[in-house]
Structure 1
Amino acid sequence: MAKLIYAAITSLDGYIEDREGKFDWAMPDEEVHSCINNLERRIGTYLYGRRMYQTMQVWEEFYGQPDHTHVVRDYANLWHMADKVVFSRTLDHATTARTRLERVFDPEAVRQMKNGADENLAVGGAELAGEALRAGLVDEIHLFVTPVIVGGGKAALPETTQTRLELLGQRRFDNGVVQLHYLVQNG
């Protein structure tokens, strides 16, 4: 069975975006971006809410563009080649390749996706990740903790029931970012 992985770049105080909705402080350098790319190589399907999908669409524009750095071109290729499932009641149609819309997040349908998948799935966006965590679907969490305090905004880990985690690994990058890799102990 494939795993469902939640990965996020977060501030030290636990936010993925600040009070104004900005996340420019979270832009990874080449070393961190390369690590994220290697993590994403095992992803065959991304699960997104509307807002995260609209944020990530830029990677479709970057696909095949030679004027970007190697790590950006690499990630654009990985993103383009993966399937995307967007959960939205308001989006009329998908504008990227290999993308389908679902009107509601159905935990049982996601469980079936995991059971039938050859590659891992990733859930993008804190709200959708929270739903997946509450449903017991998330298997691993990767947090890339950035050395900045933003003082408020959107939490990387939204409210959920108590969830036990097992630290599987940690890595410190030259720019001060720390990656924390956890196994979610469901059940």
Structure 2
Amino acid sequence: MGRLVYTAIASLDGYVADADGRFDWSAPSEEVHAAVNVQQRSVGTMLLGRRMYEVLAVWEHMDVEGAPDVIREYAELWRATDKVVYSSSLGLVGSGRTRVERTFDADGIRRLVEASDLDVSIGGPTLAACALDVGLVDEVRQYLSPVVVGGGLPVFAEGLHLDLELVDERRFSDGVAYLAHRPRRAADAATRPGTPWPAVPQ
């Protein structure tokens, strides 16, 4: 059985985008990108809100010839992963292995995760808030950039309360701090061993 994992790259004060909608300040270094790729290899299906899908969909047709290894690998991972986009208004999608769901179905997601041999990721704080609110998320992973932006789109919805256990942490050379937490209700659940971190790219 897989796990439902929420991963966010955020500012130190907890925003995935600032008040102007910008997130260029969180662009990952090659070292951070390599770590993200390691985790992405264990994902079989990505659940995405519309805005997150539109940000990530550029990987479908991006020309990565001559790009660093971490960029080329992520493009391959994106294209090989099943994707479910939750949107009431999105029409045609521009990526393969992608379907659209009009409503959030907690029971359907639970069945998907239980039937999966790989992890299922959930991306976008608005969609993740729905899953967190009903206790579907097995692990919360944050890559915290060394910047304070003062406001914007938060990692967690206002009013959400979670009792979490720290299960992993890492410090990167560019000042990014990685923290992984597991909700207490899942703390004793059987999970697969973690994947070792990659070596720092030379």
Q: TM-score with structure 2 length normalisation?
A: 0.89
Q: Please report how far the alpha carbon of residue 91 of structure 1 lies from its aligned counterpart in structure 2 after TM superposition.
A: 0.6
1:98-119, CA deviations, whole angstroms, 9 ceiling, x for partnerless residues?
A: 0001100100000010111111
For residues 185 and 129 of structure 1, the distance between their equivalents in structure 2, rounded to whole angstroms, comes to 17
Give the stretch that moved more between structures: 158-167 or 99-108. Answer: 158-167
- 3-state secondary structure, aligned to 2:91: coil
1:52-106, CA deviations, whole angstroms, 9 ceiling, x for partnerless residues?
A: 111110111227x322211011111111100000011101121100000110010
For residues 185 and 3 of structure 1, the distance between their equivalents in structure 2, rounded to whole angstroms, comes to 14
- Give the equivalent residue in structure 2 for 1:12: 12
* Structure 2 letter corresponding to 1:32: V
- 3-state secondary structure, aligned to 1:114: helix
- Give the equivalent residue in structure 2 for 1:167: 166
Q: Please report how far the alpha carbon of residue 186 of structure 1 lies from its aligned counterpart in structure 2 after TM superposition.
A: 3.0
- 3-state secondary structure, aligned to 1:57: helix
Q: Please report how far the alpha carbon of residue 20 of structure 1 lies from its aligned counterpart in structure 2 after TM superposition.
A: 0.4
Q: Please report how far the alpha carbon of residue 35 of structure 1 lies from its aligned counterpart in structure 2 after TM superposition.
A: 0.4
Q: Is the 8 A contact 1:15 1:152 kept in 2?
A: yes
- Give the equivalent residue in structure 1 for 2:142: 143
Q: Is the 8 A contact 1:172 1:179 kept in 2?
A: yes
Which runs of 5 or more structure 2 residues have no equivalent in the other structure? 187-202
Q: Please report how far the alpha carbon of residue 165 of structure 1 lies from its aligned counterpart in structure 2 after TM superposition.
A: 0.7
* Structure 2 letter corresponding to 1:79: W
1:126-146, CA deviations, whole angstroms, 9 ceiling, x for partnerless residues?
A: 010110100111000110010
Q: Please report how far the alpha carbon of residue 160 of structure 1 lies from its aligned counterpart in structure 2 after TM superposition.
A: 4.7
What does 1:1-187 align with in structure 2 at a 5 Å threshold?
Answer: 1-62=1-62, 65-186=64-185
Q: Is the 8 A contact 1:46 1:123 kept in 2?
A: yes
1:148-182, CA deviations, whole angstroms, 9 ceiling, x for partnerless residues?
A: 00011000111354211110111000000000011
For residues 24 and 160 of structure 2, the distance between their equivalents in structure 1, rounded to whole angstroms, comes to 30
Q: TM-score with structure 1 length normalisation?
A: 0.96
For residues 172 and 161 of structure 1, the distance between their equivalents in structure 2, rounded to whole angstroms, comes to 27
* Structure 2 letter corresponding to 1:137: L
For residues 91 and 156 of structure 2, the distance between their equivalents in structure 1, rounded to whole angstroms, comes to 28
* Structure 1 letter corresponding to 2:150: G
